[in-house]
Structure 1
């Protein structure tokens, strides 16, 4: 059966569905609506005369024919994508689209300071950022790369540092400290109101400190538990309790006096932010240029 243009376009849609096992995520990657994606798949199945995908309200599964087709065409389509990306070397100005999944704090601390200059230098590169603290499979979810704290980057990824190490500290408002006193040691936190942190993998974070015998973690009492740094800072500013985060998160409020650090002698440091991506894919030109610009401008040092 000879191929036509519709087949080639619909093969791209099919491969996105096969990667994500989700019409919604595949549509997000391709920049189309789920209904348009569903229509494209139905057209392809009709022309091929076989069902490629079994879809229920809860799952999307490839049929045996769908699995065979995915295995047969995924590598050639990857090669085509890499060849198109390689053409950036011959353009007067690089172009393309980069999808980045970033932990929320990194968007304001690492990306925001450099994106105006990125837009000025590379107006034809579109950067889509998904800001979330949830741990996701960036490649399986259709992202070109992830941006997270160094200690949370998957080991099978290629990672590049885009910040210096981070100092992790405890802060509170002057009003809170006037009412409840200042903890002298991490042990004193048991008598304080602490704002808990829910990690991207659903674990409740144990605050980490450095003592005479090395690092240790403390499970703090938490009336309020949040999974977003911005909300945590808002509660700390309002006097709701002690908050724990990387020092740059608190920096503007420390400078203004709206927050104060406590337990500074017990503060610990950890790996800074890293951008990471699969070693099995060619790095998009837009992603490479973004990393280079961050390392040039050094918003959090390096």
Structure 2
């Protein structure tokens, strides 16, 4: 029996639904509405006169026929996708669509600076950027890649560095420091109001400090806790207490006089940004080009450090 274009499209939809066990998540990956996916699956089942999916209000599972279909077409459809990507690499004008899950800090520091050049070079590539500081299963949520600080990249992912190491520092508004004093040692933070940082895994981050051969990790008093650096900086600028973050994030506010670095000789060196994805074998051309451009343009080069100084 000849396979129609409609069947091929519906098979791709079916594989996405089978992978996510969710119409909503599959629709996010493909770029259509859940309703369109549902109609496509109903039409496929009607044409083939077999039920492939068990649908409830809370879950989607495969029937026995659905399991058989998935086993039969998953490999060939992957091969078709890889062949399509290979053709894209030969095009004068690469095309495609990728979905990126990015940490909030990465957007202004890495993505925004390279985007004018990227869209100029590759006008036919579409990039869907989702900003979220939570630790997500990017594969299950239909993302092609994520961008996070190196220490938070899931261990089972392929990771590529987008920047070198980054300094982490504490900072506060000058008027707060004039009122409450400037700490000279990390242990003196116990006597200050600080702004806690909630990580993507819901843990409260312990502030790390280094000076020479000394290393100290503290969890200072934090009557306020945030999970987004811009919120923390806003509270610090308002005089609510001392915040902590990546120096490139804090620097623009320090340069404006809104914040002042404290404990500068205790600045800690941490891993920079990484792009990460599930497999080396199936890297979309658009994703590869974006990573290569960030590495080429080095938007964080003015903040790069090869080793601790001072």
- TM-score strictly above 0.5: yes
Residue 283 of structure 2: aligned partner: 283
> Bigger shift: 56-65 or 144-153?
56-65
Query: Offset at 1:216?
Result: 3.5
Is the counterpart of residue 267 in structure 1 residue 267 in structure 2? yes
RMSD between aligned alpha carbons?
Answer: 1.7
Tell me what 2:92 maps to: 92
Alpha carbons of 1:215 and 1:50: their partners in 2 closer, same or farther (altered >3 Å)?
Answer: farther
The alignment partner of 2:178 has SS state of helix
Instruction: Note closer, same or farther for the CA distance 1:77–1:187 as it changes in structure 2 (3 Å cut).
Output: same
Structure 2 residue aligned with 1:161: 161
Matching of residue 252 in structure 1 with residue 252 in structure 2: yes
Find the residue that maps to 2:296 and give its secondary structure: helix
Q: How many residues align?
A: 302
Higher mean displacement: 208-217 or 284-293 = 208-217
Partner of 2:55: 55
TM-score, normalised to structure 2, is 0.92
TM-score by length of 1: 0.94
* Corresponding residue number in structure 2 for 1:240: 240
Alignment correspondent of 2:307: none
Residue 213 and residue 54 in structure 1: after superposition, are their counterparts in 2 closer, same or farther (change >3 A)? farther
Q: Which range moved further: 115-124 or 59-68? A: 59-68
Give the 3 Å change call, closer, same or farther, for CA 53–189 of structure 1 in structure 2. farther
Q: Is the aligned partner of 1:82 residue 2:76?
A: no
Q: Structure 1 residue runs of 4+, over 6 Å off?
A: none
Tell me the equivalent position of 2:292: 292
Q: Distance in 2 between matches of 1:147 and 1:196?
A: 22
Q: Within 2, Cα distance between the matches of 1:56 and 1:183?
A: 58
Distance (whole Å) between structure 2 residues aligned to residue 288 and residue 272 of structure 1: 19
Q: Counterpart of 1:131?
A: 131
Unaligned runs of 5+ residues in structure 2 are 305-310
- The structural deviation recorded for 1:46 is 2.4
Once the two structures are TM-superposed, the CA of residue 35 in structure 1 deviates from its matched residue by: 0.8
* Distance in 2 (alpha carbons) for counterparts of 1:239 and 1:131: 27
Cα distance change, pair 65–211 in 1 and its aligned pair in 2 (3 A): farther
State the match for 1:225 in structure 2: 225
CA distance in 2 between partners of 1:65 and 1:40 (Å)? 17
- How big is each residue's C-alpha offset from its partner over 1:12-46, in whole Å with a ceiling of 9 and x where there is no partner? 11111112222111111111111111111122222
Q: Secondary structure at the match of 1:41?
A: helix
* 1:210-254: CA deviation from partner (whole Å, max 9, x where unpaired): 256543321222121111111111111111111111100011111
DSSP-derived class of the 1:225 partner: strand
* Aligned counterparts of 1:14 and 1:280: Cα–Cα separation in 2: 24
Give the CA deviation at 1:172: 0.5
**Which 10-residue stretch deviates more, 41-50 or 210-219?**
210-219
CA change 1:62–1:186 in 2 (3 A) is farther
